[in-house]
Amino acid sequence: MTSPLRLLVNGVPVETPVPPSERLLDTLRWRLGLRGTKEGCRTGACGACTVLIGGHPRLSCLTLSHQVGEEPILTVEGLESDPVGRAVMDVFVAEAALQCGYCTPGFVVALTGLLKEHPGASESSLLEGLQGNLCRCTGYSSIRRAVTRLAEPAP
Amino acid sequence: MALLAPTRAEEAIAELLDGPEGRVAVLAGGTDLLLDLEEGKGAPEVLLSLHRLPWRELRWGREHLEVGATLPLAELERDPELARRIPGLLEAVGAVGGFALRNQATLGGNLVRASPVSDLIPILLALECEVGILGSTGERTIPLEKFLLGPRRTVLARGELVRRVVIPTLPSAFRWQRVRPANDVSQISVAVARTPDGEHWRIATAGVAPLARRARTAEALLRGRSPPEELMVSAAAGAAEEAGVRADKRATDTYRRQLLRTLVLRAIRAVPVGPTGDAG
Ligand SMILES: Cc1cc2nc3c(=O)[nH]c(=O)nc-3n(C[C@@H](O)[C@@H](O)[C@H](O)COP(=O)(O)OP(=O)(O)OC[C@H]3O[C@@H](n4cnc5c(N)ncnc54)[C@H](O)[C@@H]3O)c2cc1C
Ligand code: FES
Ligand code: FES
């Protein structure tokens, strides 16, 4: 059984039939073709599926699509046209803050959300905000370098 | 499975009372429930989502904070008053999962889940918070300690929902130990609160017994806003004995007892000495 669902994804209104128990992660990836958002664990533990809902980082694997309502969704595909998202991605590229890249959408989306909510956030608060994001490859040092560059220099 | 998202409490309650037991599952942030469903635990016909109910209050009174059942935990962290007025609650909220999880997980869901390793239950026990329960005949309020019956068991009857939590504003502290800082389960967590005059101290521990509990004998040893060091040490040792320590896959009982003593002592010392928790 599916019912029609309207979402606002990366500024674009979309309408698609979605079963009531479908996770936002699956709607994004398999109905809307937005495969940038990754499935790491499907249990809330890795952060790879992070998207912004109403500007706040959320786990799309633990969110039902029908629970989103009218709140705008921003996925990694939408970061390109967002000034903060653009800046975050540029720094990740400059610092080579990825290896396989599987965790990267979650990191850059989460950082974009944190920086939009707290422009000029400190390095420690950004790192704290990323505690729920796991990376299996980089050893984190390149990600930390990127975070250092995105944070305001400590006073 | 159908998803219903009523906008009025009466509709939600009526839906819960309709049809056979187990037909409806209540959905708040979904961070526990969706995992259960994915694992095949329960097969409800209806998911009753609370997200459209206007239950997201965060209201400061002179001596209390009232939190609506469906307020995401991250909204508590965003409140500029919390660090000063209920420091232990801010520390405990920050220990739950990662930031994205806290943008959806709710206080109501955490209490109803009644997990032995909840990071919120010990601090709310130490603060002696009250739970507002809404049913078809209105709202009743009971102390959290009476609300919790055991792991995953509460006094909620069929047709009842947690509506709000009322939390006294008290000087307090929370300490935990786990392998990874986020998205891991605390091996131990400890909460301490005291009344503004220092007359009463309260200690609660979790991660040891089947459910978080108070350590009443130990807390009775403490008096005053900054008790003498030797009493703090005795209270910490007493709390470790009283906690009902058990071994499991996460830690041995010896390790837990030592850890408890250390964390209780740290938490007692971390409670602000000043009379916070007032309206000033
Ligand atoms: C990766 C991960 C890490 C976690 N880490 C921690 C941690 O460190 N510390 C910790 O304490 N917890 C942790 N949790 C659990 C925590 O997210 C939940 O306990 C959360 O607070 C539950 O809230 P929810 O809104 O998501 O509940 P839901 O999953 O929506 O509901 C939980 C249960 O409560 C019922 N329910 C919900 N709201 C109400 C209501 N108002 N009235 C009646 N019944 C209701 C539901 O029917 C369900 O049975 C973690 C979870 C995950 C997935
Ligand atoms: S896939 Fe959602 S947190 Fe891992
Ligand atoms: S770059 Fe491979 S998981 Fe992070």
Max CA distance (Å), chain A: 56
Assign B278 a pLDDT band (cuts: 50, 70, 90): very low
Q: Which ligand is nearest to the CA of A104?
A: 3
* Ligand 3 shell residues, CB under 6 Å: A 98-103, 135-138
Q: Per residue in A87-146, pLDDT tens?
A: 999 999 999 999 999 999 999 999 999 999 999 999 999 999 999 999 999 999 999 999
**B98/A20 touch (CB, cutoff 8 Å), yes or no:** no
**Strand (E) or helix (H) holding B263:** helix B253-270
Whole-angstrom distance between the N-terminal and C-terminal Cα of chain B? 50
In whole numbers, what is the pLDDT of chain B averaged over residues?
Answer: 93
Distance CA B213, CA B122 (A): 7
CA distance B167 to B65: 5
Residue B251 has a pLDDT of 77
**Residue B70 and residue B108 in contact, taking contact as beta carbons nearer than 8 Å:** yes
The reported pLDDT for the residue numbered A92 is 98
Angle B1-B2-B8 (CA atoms, 0-180°, nearest 5)? 145
Compute the average pLDDT of residues B155-170.
97
Give me the mean pLDDT over the B107-112 stretch: 98
Question: Which tens digits make up the pLDDT trace of B13-63?
Answer: 999 999 898 899 999 999 999 999 989 888 899 999 999 999 999 999 999
Please say if the pLDDT value at position A48 is more than 80: yes
Residues of chain B with CATH 3.30.390.50: 172-270
| Interface membership of A43 toward B (CB under 8 Å) | yes
Cα separation, A83 vs B119, whole angstroms:
37
Q: Which fold has domain B172-270?
A: Enolase-like; domain 1 (3.30.390)
> How much of chain A is helix, strand and coil, in % rounded to 5?
40, 15, 45
Residues in B 118-137 with any Cβ partner in A closer than 8 A: none
Q: Which two tokens stand for residue A81?
A: 């046209």
pLDDT at A86: 97
Angstrom CA distances, B125 to A55, A113, B25, B35, B81, stand at: 33, 33, 26, 26, 21
Q: Both tokens of residue A57?
A: 């980082």
The pLDDT-based confidence of A155 (bands split at 50, 70, 90) is low
Q: Do A59 and B74 touch (CB under 8 A)?
A: no
Helix axes A83-94, A141-150, angle to 10 degrees: 140
The pLDDT of residue A80: 94
Distance A73 CA to ligand 3 centre (A): 24
Q: What is the pLDDT of residue B207?
A: 84
Q: What single DSSP character describes residue A65?
A: G
List, in order, residues 6 or more apart from B188 with CB less than 8 Å away.
Answer: B176, B177, B205, B206, B207, B208, B251, B256, B259, B260, B263
B1 contacts on A by Cβ (under 8 Å): 19-21
Which listed ligand is nearest to B16 at the C-alpha?
1
| pLDDT at position B269 | 96
Residue B187 has pLDDT above 90, yes or no: no
Examine the pLDDT at A154 and tell me if it is beyond 70.
no
Tokens at residue A78, please? 């939408």
* Class of CATH domain B2-168: alpha beta
* Site of tokens 């009466």: B10
DSSP string, A7-59: EEETTEEEEEEE-TT-BHHHIIIIIS--TTS--S-SSSSS-TTEEEETTEEEE
User: Nearest to residue A118, comparing CAs of B222, B99, B230?
Assistant: B99
Residue B184 has pLDDT above 80, yes or no: no
Among chain B residues, CA nearest to A126:
B99
How far apart are the CA of A100 and the centre of ligand 3, in A? 5
Residue B74 token pair: 């991250």
Which of A136-140, B22-26, B154-158, B208-212 is the least confident region?
A: B208-212
Q: How far apart are CA A90 and CA B231, in angstroms?
A: 56
**Amino acid at position B132, single letter:** G
For residue A1, the model assigns a pLDDT of 66
Query: Mind listing the pLDDT tens digit for each residue in B246-267?
Result: 777 777 888 889 999 999 999 9
- Percentage of chain A exceeding pLDDT 90: 94
Sort residue B130 into left (φ over 0), alpha (ψ -120 to 50) or beta. Answer: beta
Residue A10 has pLDDT above 80, yes or no: yes
Residue intervals of chain B classified under CATH 3.30.465.10 are 2-168
Three-state SS for B174? strand
Chain-centre distance for alpha carbon B204: 11
What letter would DSSP give residue A72?
-
pLDDT grade for B186, boundaries at 50, 70 and 90: confident
- Which of the four pLDDT bands, split at 50, 70 and 90, describes residue B210? confident
Nearest CA-CA partner of B225 in B275, B154, B168? B275
Residue B280: pLDDT band by 50, 70, 90 thresholds?
very low
B30, B71 Cβ separation under 8 angstroms: no
Asked whether A66 and A81 are in contact (CB, 8 A), the reply is: no
Whole-angstrom distance, CA of residue B57 vs CA of residue B236: 36
Note whether B277 and B260 are within 8 A (CB): no
Angle at B135 between CA B154 and CA B103, to 5 degrees: 65
B148 vs A2: which has the higher pLDDT: B148
Residue-level length of chain B: 280
Backbone angles phi, psi at A114, to 5 degrees: -65, -45
Query: How far is residue A113's CA from residue A55's CA, in Å, rounded to a whole number?
Result: 6
Chain B, nearest residue to A118 by Cα: B78
Query: Residue B279: pLDDT band by 50, 70, 90 thresholds?
Result: very low
Residue-wise pLDDT tens digits, A66-83: 999 999 999 999 999 999
